[in-house]
Chains A and B, each alone.
Chain A
Amino acid sequence: MTRLLAIAEIRLREGLAARLVWLVPLAFAVGVGAALWAQGPDPASRAALADRVVLWTAWGLAFLVAAIVPALGMPADVRTGAAQSLLASPVSRFEVVLGGVLGYGALSTLLLLAMAGASTLGMQIAGVGAAEREPIRTTTAAQPVGANGAGVVVVDSASPVAAFRFRVPAGLRRGELLVVRLSPERRVETSFNSETVVIVAAGRPGGAEAGSDRVEFKAGTEFAAHVPLGDLRAGEEAELAVRRASGGWALDFIPGSVEIGGARRFYALGLFEAALCAVPMLLLLAAIGSLGAARFGGPTAVALAAFLFLVCSGRGLLLDAAQYIVRAAADPTLAQNEVHDDGHHHAAVEPISPARVALAKGAIAVFELLPRYETFDRTDALVERRAPVWGDLARAAWEGLPAAALVTALAWMLLRRREIAPG
């Protein structure tokens, strides 16, 4: 353990001494500058955009450092001869790899925490809509009433109202509005115009409405309603009714698409928890960087790390694309039925070849194994004023740590085979 920690410490210090890492504050300052320059239709939107830019910058830079710095560390040690001294000592190659992953992971975590702290401070000092932001809250999913076999509740012309059960969250201040976030999927029904109006009401099950909110939004986008709770008390069973007042799109509420906002949380604490959610991904990326470094020289290791980082971060997009190919091959009318926001249909498409379908299926099998990027990057949730919960952290650890351990083991196997000679 002493040797492992010694290697981790040396990697952390090596990272802090690297010139590349000192570019990070510079890049972050550019991100903050861009955030302060952000514009929006109202102060809340402007603040949300500023948050999005600055958090995206912080998370992106930390992820890049985690992947790139390890890819340069070991090759430089081998080239200069430092690896020779290190590996001729009693330290094992496994300790070198694992210590490196831990050290570089710690480096990127420290950078992320520093940038997250600086972002909060910077936004406060610059006063970018600080007063306009809603407090962040924990959220819980509301349970649909009368869902179909797939657990979906549909709001359309035939059934314009959907009901959901929830428990009034504890910690809401007296007179505070209940924040409800809704993210239904859309289906064209009578019109391509996506302007939609819904009325969201809360009350006791089977009883009178305690209060309601009328919300205008574009179908396909997430929206929030602020509903008065009336005399409903914390812990009480309640019902939420979502009624479509106008719009030509059917709304499909899948499980988890209606969330009830709970007690306010400190933003700084939420930011810290979000940063903790990123730690397993930072370790995974450090392992990916070490994987290339264990076998190749610096440029190849960086290219490999950058490629794998892009695959990890683009997993959702790539998986969607592959799944679409498989669905479209099974149902050739799917592509023709796709419509753009302006109502235009896709042009007729060529049939999909079996080879392409097989490739897509293979890609799905591979991408399903990869951890989901969104699990580690909770910045969207923060921008949407959702506080991360410990469950998010557990999910991030569950998805990220086994993958990090697997890649670390692969890196160790490569380093074990490597012959160490400087030059």
Chain B
Amino acid sequence: MADDAPVLCTGLAKTYRDFWGRASFPALAGVDLRVARGESHALLGPNGSGKTTTLRILLGLMRPTSGEARLFGKDPTESAARARVGFLPEQSSLHGFLRARETLELFARLYGVARGERSRRAGELLERLELADAAKKRVRELSHGMRRRLALGVALVGRPELLVLDEPTAGMDPLVREGVLALFREHLTGGGTLLVTSHLLGDIRGIASKATLLARGVVTRQGDLDEMLRRPGLREYVVRGGAEIDDAVAAAVRSRGGDVVEARPARASIEQLFLDTYRSAEKGDDAPPRDR
């Protein structure tokens, strides 16, 4: 029986060619990838590792030099396959002359959403993406972050089974990013599938359960993300107290045969600091951010 997994790549290779057809740059060299239904899969790697090329081939925007890509068991060049996919490109440029609401309605039309449903769906997404105030603005008048959110709306408007996201949180402030990540989690909770690329692990931590690591177009590691991030033989604790308890903690650990490798004051991430400060200011609360 044919594999109708949402994403299936077998021996995917891609070599970019120059104007004269000469091979100029190998972007992918035999990538195998399978994303099962309901799975959240991250494609990780540094710039130039082949993440975006893999996505473009998967969406029928490019042809592989060799190997095969399938969406739900179908060729990605078939409209029926792409009708089940929502795509957020890294460089999300939409038609600047359209208004934000018109853009969503246009893509709802392209995804075959019923006429009466289009406007309601667009309004709903504008609310969720905090773009309701910009609904009548033309795309070219929106800020970079607003355009990213609108592009995400475009990806979501057809209620896709598979969301393909290329660097989804690039250009978003932490507050918006949190809202967007919540949308992705909602998509997964509803039984959807996610394929996301990033070169920043922090961006996809918490939404991706499996990962494929690419380097120079080759899969270097693949599997459960938690397993990959686990540091064997080491555990992390956050304890309440100051430097004065370091010796006591170390003694307790040593008494059980362990050792303290690193001890330092706990710090919030810059994103967390931003979120807490913003929320405190909104509530009119001058209290310092909570410890994490």
Contact = CB atoms under 8 A, between A and B. Distances in A.
B80 A90 contact: yes
A84 B89 CA distance: 8
Nearest to B109: A6
B179 interface: no
A410 to B, nearest CB: 19
A346 interface: no
Contacts of A422: 89, 91, 93
Interface in A41-94: 77, 80-82, 84-92
A77 B96 CA distance: 10
Interface string B101-143: 0000011011110000000000000000000000000000000
Nearest to B151: A85
A126 interface: no
Given A2-B112, A6-B109, A6-B110, A88 B59 contact: yes
A317 interface: no
A347 interface: no
B38 interface: no
B56 A421 contact: yes
B111 to A, nearest CB: 6
Interface in A1-53: 2-3, 6, 10, 13-14, 17
Contacts of B172: none
Given A81-B89, A419-B61, A419-B63, A89 B107 contact: yes
Given A6-B109, A419-B61, A14 B87 contact: no
Instruction: Give the interface centre of A2, A13, A85, A423 by most chain B CB atoms within 10 Å.
Output: A85
Contacts of B110: 3, 6, 86, 89-91
Interface in B54-100: 56, 59-63, 79-80, 82-83, 85, 87, 89, 91-95, 97-98
Interface residues of B, number: 30
B111 A89 contact: yes
A81 B92 contact: yes
Contacts of B107: 85, 89
Given A2-B112, A84-B61, A92 B79 contact: yes
Nearest to A92: B79
Contact of B106 (A6, A87, A419, A421): A6
Contacts of A85: 87, 89, 92-94, 107, 151, 154
Nearest to B140: A17
A420 interface: yes
A164 to B, nearest CB: 57
A422 to B, nearest CB: 5
Contacts, number: 82
Contacts of A14: 95, 97
Interface string A378-398: 000000000000000000000
A88 B97 contact: no
Residue of B56, B79, B80, B92 contacting most chain A CB atoms (<10 Å): B79
Contacts of B56: 84, 419-421
B109 A3 contact: yes
A418 to B, nearest CB: 9
Nearest to A17: B97
A3 B56 CA distance: 22
A330 to B, nearest CB: 44
A122 to B, nearest CB: 29
A86 B61 CA distance: 10
Contact of A88 (B63, B87, B91, B109): B87
B62 to A, nearest CB: 4
Contacts of B62: 419-421
Question: Would you list the 3 A-B pairs with minimal beta carbon distance, nearest first?
Answer: A17-B97, A81-B93, A90-B83
Interface of A: 2-3, 6, 10, 13-14, 17, 77, 80-82, 84-92, 419-423
Interface of B: 56, 59-63, 79-80, 82-83, 85, 87, 89, 91-95, 97-98, 106-107, 109-112, 151, 154, 158, 164
9 contacts: A6-B106, A14-B97, A84-B91, A89-B87, A89-B158, A90-B83, A90-B110, A90-B111, A419-B61
Given A85-B154, A88-B89, 16 more contacts: A2-B112, A84-B89, A85-B87, A85-B89, A85-B92, A85-B93, A87-B61, A88-B85, A90-B82, A90-B158, A419-B56, A419-B61, A419-B63, A420-B56, A420-B61, A422-B89
